[in-house]
């Protein structure tokens, strides 16, 4: 069972929670800053800017509860930055979107940097 913790970066008495992730959550994908350009001779050239955690996006899906929805809406609407904690580390991030989908809450999380 995977868990995710989300908390306001700044002090907020009601700004933190721990949630159980649904199996359809996507929190492990990684990408590189790579672009491919066609050349006149029929080949291609890669421009590789490397890897950074700041390019990662998480889609966290958690079970709906009234208190969870209230907390996630508060973090989305009132907190510019949040700290996200998963098994592989802690990240500074922002919540990009949150929606209700059947009996689940879907949270889009855009990472800024890895904290630990």
Query: Which parts of 1-116 are beta strand (E)?
Result: 3-8, 16-20, 34-38, 44-48, 57-63, 82-86, 89-101, 104-114
How many Å apart are CA 110 and CA 55, to the nearest integer?
A: 8
pLDDT of residue 102: 81
55 domain-assigned: yes
Q: Domain residues for 69?
A: 3-26+50-114
pLDDT at 61 over 90: yes
Helix intervals (H) in the chain: 66-78
pTM (2 d.p.): 0.86
41 domain-assigned: no
- Residue pair 41/30 in contact (Cβ under 8 Å)? The answer is no
Tell me what the mean pLDDT of segment 70-82 comes to: 96
78 domain-assigned: yes
77 domain-assigned: yes
76 domain-assigned: yes
56 domain-assigned: yes
pLDDT at 83 over 90: yes
What's the CATH code of the domain at 58?
2.40.10
Q: How many separate domains does the chain show?
A: 1
Percent of the chain with pLDDT over 70: 100
């Amino acid at each position: 069972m995977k868990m995710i913790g989300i908390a306001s970066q700044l002090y907020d008495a009601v700004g933190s929670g721990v949630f159980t992730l649904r199996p359809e959550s996507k929190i492990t994908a990684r990408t590189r800053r790579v672009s491919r350009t066609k050349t006149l001779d029929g080949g291609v050239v890669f421009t590789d800017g490397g890897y950074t955690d700041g390019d990662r996006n998480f889609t966290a899906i958690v079970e709906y509860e009234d208190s969870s929805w209230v907390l996630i809406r508060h973090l989305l609407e009132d907190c510019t930055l949040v700290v996200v904690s998963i098994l592989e580390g802690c990240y500074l991030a922002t919540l990009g979107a949150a929606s209700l989908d059947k009996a689940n809450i879907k949270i889009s999380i855009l990472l800024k940097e890895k904290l630990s």
